[in-house]
Amino acid sequence: MSWDLLLLPIPAGYASVDGGGERLDVVLNHRPFPSDLATPPLGTHEQVKAALLSQLPSIEFWDTRPWGSLAGPTWSIELNLGSADPVESITLYVRGKVDDALQAVFAIAEAVGCCVINM
């Protein structure tokens, strides 16, 4: 099984996501997330890595790419910080028994102050 997730620092008040066909809209009281609302950056690559490692020290980051990985007994997660600096979002690629990975997924999101969005 696989599961792709987006981590974004969504402002307070936007609490749910509406998959609405082909578009993914974050909604507040059933109103779409404004297209011109910019989310704040998560920090530089080094700041984001430090925040993640402070909560999950077993994450391994590549030296040459903005990627990392974390593995449990029945699952693995690849983290893509993207090439932009500062980091604007994180994409997670969860493989294996995704239900077993939920605790790690939410720990990653909490470490960087993000909401988890199913892609």
> Greatest CA separation found in the chain?
42
Assign domain 2-118 to a CATH class. alpha beta
Interval 75-109: pLDDT, tens: 999 999 999 999 999 999 999 998 999 999 999 99
This model's pTM is above 0.75: yes
- SS3 for the chain is CEEEEEEECCCCCCCEEECCCCCCEEEECCEECCCCCCCCCCECHHHHHHHHHHHCCCCEECCCCCEEEEECCCEEEEEECCCCCCECCEEEEEEECHHHHHHHHHHHHHHCCCEEEEC
4-13, 20-29, 44-53: range with highest mean pLDDT: 44-53
